[in-house]
Amino acid sequence: MDPTVGLEDLDLLLFPAYLNALYQSRGLVAILPTRDVPHRFRDRMIRFVTRRRFDSRVRIFDYAGEDRGLSYVVTIGDPERDPLGRRRDPKARRAAVAKAVAAEKAAQGGRHRPFVESTAFEVFDTLLGSEDAVKAFFQGTKRTRQMGNLGIGVLGPGVGCADSVRQMVDTEFALHREDVGLTIRGLRPRFPSHVVVPDPSRGLPHVVFIPGPSDRGPGL
């Protein structure tokens, strides 16, 4: 996505996928963009899903100590280093891994069903550096596919690991905001620009995709 895309645009595009999973008793594990905050993300989501369902099946990994103590927030930090950059001891690393495993179990539920993993890559790129972020994504992608999960990644502008990440994904879309609203264009597979808007008959969180002005043909 380019710098014109805001959180409200991501909500418009991604909330239907998140909610679809939750309504099918599947879960969501998310690393939010740095512009977002866990409790605000929850406030926006519970307009469309019950608090109980959100709190039981959604887990948000937090690396900055925001909203510490909330049941759906997993404060994990860098498992290798503490906030001062000092290498953590093995016990601290094991504790961080245990938190991540517990979060995945909550998202899976009692039936161990696949779930959605949503990752803002700017967080990994900033904390780990581009090279280690790519390695972490490679390992995570292999595990996501093995578990049958749906992985959604958000690549903002200036993320150093972007080129390597793009080589590993199955599908890729370009997001841009224009005067008509949020536009999405297919890069892999290719398809022309469409405007993402709320469904006029059913309303949010349902959306429809309208061909962009340049793709409608003459007279349309």
d(CA 91, CA 9): 40
Using the predicted structure, report yes or no on whether residue 83 has a pLDDT greater than 50. no
Is the predicted pLDDT of residue 25 greater than 70, yes or no? yes
Q: Which of 82-86, 130-134, 148-152, 188-192 has the lowest mean pLDDT?
A: 82-86
Distance (Å, whole) CA 132 – CA 3:
24
pLDDT of residue 27: 97
Banded pLDDT at 191 (limits 50, 70, 90):
very high
Mean pLDDT of 43-67: 94
Q: Quick: pLDDT tens for 110-157.
A: 889 999 999 999 998 998 889 989 998 999 999 999 999 999 999 998
Beta-bridged to residue 194, according to DSSP, are 184, 211
Rounded mean pLDDT, 171-175 = 97
Read off φ and ψ for residue 204, nearest 5 degrees: -65, 150
pLDDT of amino acid 64: 83
Where do the domains of the chain lie?
7-170, 173-220
Mean pLDDT across the chain: 89
Label residue 81 by pLDDT band (50, 70, 90): low
Most confident of 50-59, 61-70, 98-107, 124-133: 50-59
pTM > 0.75: yes or no: yes
Q: Are 38 and 67 in contact (CB under 8 A)?
A: yes
| The pLDDT of residue 167 is above 70 | yes
- What pLDDT does residue 213 have? 65
Give residue 77's pLDDT. 62
Written as one letter, the residue type at 129 is: G
CB 102 within 8 A of CB 126: no
Question: Residue 65 has what pLDDT?
Answer: 83
Rounded to 10 deg, the angle between the 130-147 and 121-128 helix axes is: 130
Report the pLDDT value the prediction gives residue 215, as an integer from 0 to 100. Answer: 52
Query: How does residue 88 score in pLDDT terms, banded at 50, 70 and 90?
Result: low
Q: At 145, give phi and psi (nearest 5°).
A: -65, -40
